[in-house]
Chains A and B, each alone.
Chain A
Amino acid sequence: MINWANFISQCFNGLVLGALLALISSGLTIIYGTLGVLNLAHGAMFMLGGYAGYVAYDYTGSYVVAVVAGSLFVMLVGLLMEKLIIRHFYSRPYEDQLLVTFGLGIVFVEAVRFFFGGLSKSVPPPGPLVGITPLGFMMYPTYRLALLAIVTVALLALYFVLYRTRIGMIVRAGIEDAVMVSSLGIDVYKIFTLVFGIGAMAAGFAGIVNAPVVSIAPDVGESILVQTFVVVVIGGVGSFPGAVVGGLIAGEIISITSMFNPGYAYVMLFVAMTLVLVLRPYGLFGTAGRE
């Protein structure tokens, strides 16, 4: 029997979770789409954003400063990572790329554990967003409502950059055919660095805005990484709209299944992924032949 109040609440949970997944996945998918590198350190980027923001919050007590610091720090890490390490792996086999990003992820996680310890850290939501808001069908944490708005704005900003600016056009062209872009006299490597930075920043931003919901710990990015991969597969590799739609689908599947039996939430998620792979192997919004 369906309890409708519960059903609507769970749809809402799915929306919040889905929006967050969409944001993290869009970072992963534009990096993979443009550079062809599957960044297994993406979960660690999410975690780094949380910690950088936590440090900034600790010093200033300001949520806004924490969000800006968290995002910029991870963007910087992303830029350096691409320039110093990833760049040397573009022409190497996939396995090498996976290993190096996986390894970097471990280094980031353990470095954080070394400096901050394992105890989880909380970043409280800003004053006006503390507490609970009655929605009629349920009481909902105010900050989670705000999170939905914050993430939506971030996704819109990302959309604007990708679809309404010259750089975005080059990036999208790079996703379709990097060699062609380079033949047109555009410095593809500069674009690659930038894309990696933006992709990392999306994860870092998500990491800090999510910190008031899920307190941060060194391993916080691990399970997120798996979910984001599923989202990217469902949405289609390299597709920004795919990441957004895939994220929302994944969020809703997890939440609505949880209403009946939480034990099957992830089973259903992987069933959905399998179905997509069987029916549309390149994902809902992917293009055949795109890598």
Chain B
Amino acid sequence: MQFNDHKSAGLSRRTMLQAGAGVAGSIILPASFLRPAFAADDKPALGTWPVGSQGDTVYIGASIPRTGAYAVQGEDELKGMQLAIEHINEGNDLLKQIAPKIEKGVLGKKVELVVADSAAKPNNAVQEQQTFINDKKIVAMTGSTSSAVAVALNKFAQREKILYLVAISGSNDTTGKDCARYSFRQCVYGETCANAIGPVLLKNFGKGKKAAFMTPDYTYGHTVTKSVNDYLTSQGGWQMVTNQVSPLGTQDFSQYLTNIANSGAEFIVNVNWGRDAVLSVQQAKQFGLTPNMKMVIPYQIPFLAKEVGAELTEGVFAATDFWWTMEDQYPLAKAFVDAFQKKYNYRPEWGAENGYMQFAIWARMVSEAGTFYPPDVIKQYEKGETFPSMVGDVKFRAEDHQLIRPVVIVRGKAAKDMKNEEDFWHVVEIVPGEGLMQKPDAFGCQLGDYT
């Protein structure tokens, strides 16, 4: 409550009583009881609603890593978001195919993005979003590129009752044990990637192989490693001979690689991400581990191939959210890649696609719901309606707020086979999403309350 705020002071006693009754009511009554008691305009204030959507402009707060090990991926993700905002505000055709009810803006409001550098640190991200809430009354927040940030913002979103559009996050926990009613994830994650890339690995390399894992030491790394290892051991009789866990931001991987060199592994399943992935891939080559040992990337890193060169990604299998050559197959992908490339002079990586899609989906859900009131928007997501995306038709799963969407398996091309300077990956397979996901309650998701 802001007592020094002139406007809210003007509304005074009645609103206060209503809000008070709402708070009291929510303690006593289940949410479903409470809802019909209020007409559309009489809903109690919740989070930044209604203040956040009363002006001409609504704000979305983004905590993006612009420094540190994930900075490169953060910038790409941010560009996707900025393009989406531009498209929302101009009523662009591509965006209208995903969110048909948008005009110039969402529900008559322009959308603006406010951005801060999270350095991929959860504390920074939460503090920034708190500032955005105070200063801009943001109607939604986004950011991550580290699941540690995503999980922290999940909890923060639930507490503050503000929608959180998960950016890049590969941990099972984000829509698993740390899921939240107020949070939605578009992108692929450890479990779906493992179940998609697993069969491809078994088909290409056979059963009973020895694998060394390289795992960054936080929720993303541990859950992805577990999912991939579970699949390979149970379905293919593979064996994890060593798991080298390194802190996020490691520069010198010599110790880890030495352990792997002495482990008898035939494969390196490299779960490291961002700059950690770049350095570990380069140094594995320096130590002569690759190409004798085969590298597998279960969760694709935007710009990996660009940074290490096609020589090091040739033949490498990776599971990803999106790759630009899918434009040949999906008209929306084509429109997106063209628009992005025109504006930023390179073809978008999957972080940009994820950022764009998350915003487009949000615009769809808000405009379909006809209100910014968070519980109504959430219920719109939870209807599970099918809508078009850059990877075909998709829908949300109501139980854990995970988008049911395909996983894309790619394999690194040899430099000589590249048709242009960004043609690093060949799309091997696009695996439909339904069969890849765990049961909604398998990872302990409890969504929490609407209000």
A interface residues (Cβ-Cβ under 8 A, vs B): 3, 5-6, 9-10, 13, 16-17, 109, 113, 118-120, 122, 132, 138-141, 143-144, 213-215, 217-220, 222-224, 254-255, 258-259, 262-263, 265-266
Q: Which of B285-325 contact A (CB under 8 A)?
A: 286-288, 303, 306-307
A263 x B217 contact (CB < 8 A): yes
In the complex, residue of chain B having the shortest beta-carbon distance to the beta carbon of A17: B252
Closest to B287 in A: A141
Q: Are A13 and B258 within 8 A (Cβ)?
A: yes
Among A9, A120, A122, A217, point to the contact of B258 (Cβ < 8 A). Answer: A9
Instruction: Give complex CA distance A259, B72 in Å.
Output: 31
Is B249 in contact with chain A by the CB < 8 A criterion?
yes
- B-chain residues with CB within 8 Å of residue A3 when the two chains form the complex: 262
Residues of B230-269 whose CB lies within 8 A of A: 244-247, 249-252, 254-256, 258-259, 261-262
* B71, A10: Cβ atoms closer than 8 Å: no
| Count class of interface residues, chain B | 20 to 34
- Given the interface contacts A118-B71, A132-B288, does A258 sit within 8 Å of B282 by beta carbon? no
Q: Which residue among A10, A122, A140, A214 has the maximum number of chain B CB atoms within 10 Å of its CB?
A: A214
Of the residues A5, A17, A120, A140, contact of B278 by C-beta under 8 Å: A120
CB < 8 Å neighbour of A13 from B246, B250, B255, B286: B255
Which residues on A sit within 8 Å (CB–CB) of B67? Answer: 109, 113, 218-219
Tell me, in angstroms, the Cα distance from A224 to B250 when the chains sit together.
10
Asked if A255 and B286 sit within 8 Å, CB to CB, the answer is no
For A13, the chain B residues whose CB sits under 8 A away are: 254-255, 258
Please state if B244 and A262 are interface contacts (CB–CB under 8 Å). yes
Instruction: Judge if B181 is at the interface, Cβ distance under 8 Å.
Output: no
Q: List 14 A-B contacts (CB under 8 A).
A: A5-B262, A13-B255, A13-B258, A17-B252, A109-B67, A118-B71, A119-B72, A119-B307, A120-B278, A140-B287, A141-B288, A223-B250, A255-B255, A263-B245
- Given contacts A132-B287, A141-B287, whether A262 and B251 have CB atoms under 8 Å apart is no
Give complex CA distance A17, B307 in Å: 24
A138 to chain B, nearest CB (A): 6
| Residues in A neighbouring B261, C-beta threshold 8 A | 9, 138-139
Complex Cα distance A217/B282, Å? 14
Task: Tell me whether A262 and B288 are in contact in the complex, defined as CB-CB below 8 angstroms, given that A9-B261, A215-B282, A219-B68 are known contacts.
Answer: no
Q: Is the CB of B254 within 8 A of A217?
A: no
Assembled-state Cα–Cα distance A126/B275 (Å): 24
The distance in angstroms between the C-alpha atoms of A266 and B251, with both chains bound, is: 13
Is A119's CB under 8 angstroms from B287's CB?
no
Question: When chains A and B are docked, how far (Å) is the Cα of A227 from the Cα of B287?
Answer: 24
Q: How far is the CB of B308 from chain A (nearest CB, A)?
A: 8
Q: Is B75 an interface residue (CB 8 A)?
A: yes
B289 closest partner in A (C-beta): A139
With CB as the reference atom, state the residue of chain B lying closest to A214.
Answer: B251
Are A17 and B254 CB-contacts (below 8 A) given A141-B288, A215-B282, A262-B245?
yes
Interface contact B258-A6, CB-CB below 8 Å: yes
For B250, the chain A residues whose CB sits under 8 A away are: 223
Whole-angstrom CA separation of A254 from B256 in the bound complex: 11
**Does B403 interact with chain A (Cβ within 8 Å)?**
no
Closest A residue to B278 by CB, please name it: A120
Residues of B at the A interface (CB closer than 8 Å) are 67-69, 71-72, 75, 217, 244-247, 249-252, 254-256, 258-259, 261-262, 275, 278-279, 282-283, 286-288, 303, 306-307
A262 close to B256 (CB less than 8 A): yes
A259 to B263, CA, bound (A): 11
Q: Are A10 and B255 in contact (CB under 8 A)?
A: yes
Residues of A contacting B68 with CB < 8 Å? 219, 222
C-alpha gap A119/B258 in the complex (Å): 26
Q: A5-B262, A141-B287, A262-B245 are in contact. Are A215 and B255 (CB under 8 A)?
A: no
The reply to whether A141 and B286 contact each other, CB–CB distance below 8 Å, is: yes
A192 to B279 CA separation, bound complex (whole angstroms): 37
Across the A-B interface, the 5 shortest Cβ-Cβ residue pairs:
A258-B255, A132-B288, A6-B262, A141-B286, A118-B72
> A122 contacts which of B249, B275, B282, B303 (Cβ < 8 Å)?
B282
Query: What B residues does A220 contact at CB under 8 A?
Result: 251
| Docked-complex contact B275 and A120, CB < 8 angstroms | yes
Q: Within the assembled complex, what's the spacing in Å between the Cα atoms of A219 and B288?
A: 26
Closest beta carbon of chain B to A150's beta carbon, Å: 16
Which B-chain residue is minimally distant from A220 (CB atoms)?
B251
A261: nearest chain-B partner, CB-CB: B245
Residues of B within 8 A of A222 (CB): 68, 249
Q: Provide the bound-state CA to CA distance between A5 and B259, in Å.
A: 10
Q: How far is the CA of A13 from the CA of B259 in the complex (A)?
A: 11
Decide if A138 touches B258 in the complex (CB within 8 Å): yes
Shortest C-beta distance, B74 to chain A (Å), equals: 8
The distance in angstroms between the C-alpha atoms of A9 and B259, with both chains bound, is: 9
Select one of A119, A217, A224, A265 contacting B255, CB under 8 A.
A265
In the bound complex, residues from chain B placing their C-beta under 8 Å from that of A224 are 251
Residues on A with C-beta less than 8 A from B72 are 118-120, 217
**B251 proximity list for chain A (CB < 8 A):** 214, 220, 223-224
User: Which residues on the A side are within 8 Å of B283 (C-beta)?
Assistant: 213-214
CA distance A144 to B251 in the complex (A): 14
Query: Contact at A213–B245, with CB atoms within 8 Å?
Result: no
Smallest distance from the beta carbon of B89 to chain A beta carbons, Å?
27
Contact status B255-A139, CB under 8 Å: no
Of A6, A16, A220, which is in contact with the most chain B CB atoms at under 10 Å from its CB? Answer: A6
Contact A139 B288 (CB under 8 A): yes
Q: Chain A nearest CB: distance from B213 CB in Å?
A: 12
Known A-B contacts: A132-B288, A139-B287, A215-B307. Give 19 more (CB < 8 A): A6-B262, A9-B261, A16-B254, A17-B252, A113-B71, A120-B72, A120-B307, A138-B258, A141-B288, A144-B254, A144-B286, A214-B251, A219-B275, A220-B251, A224-B251, A254-B255, A259-B258, A262-B244, A263-B247
The smallest C-beta distance from A252 to any residue of chain B, in angstroms, reads 11
Known: A120-B307, A215-B279. A259 touches B252 (CB 8 A): no
Report the Cα distance A119→B304, complex, angstroms: 9
Task: Tell me how far the C-beta of A251 lies from the nearest C-beta in chain B, rounded to whole angstroms.
Answer: 10
> Least Cβ distance of A126 to chain B in Å?
14
B253's closest neighbor in chain A, by CB?
A: A214
Point out the residues of chain A lying under 8 angstroms from B217, CB to CB.
263
- Which partner residue on chain A sits nearest B285 by CB separation? A141
Closest-CB distance, A200 to chain B (whole angstroms) = 20
B285 to chain A, nearest CB (A): 9
Query: Would you give the shortest CB distance from B249 to chain A, in whole angstroms?
Result: 6
Question: Which among B255, B262, B288 has the highest number of chain A CB atoms within 10 Å?
Answer: B255
| A262 CA / B72 CA spacing, docked (Å) | 26
A258 to B251 alpha-carbon distance, docked (Å):
14
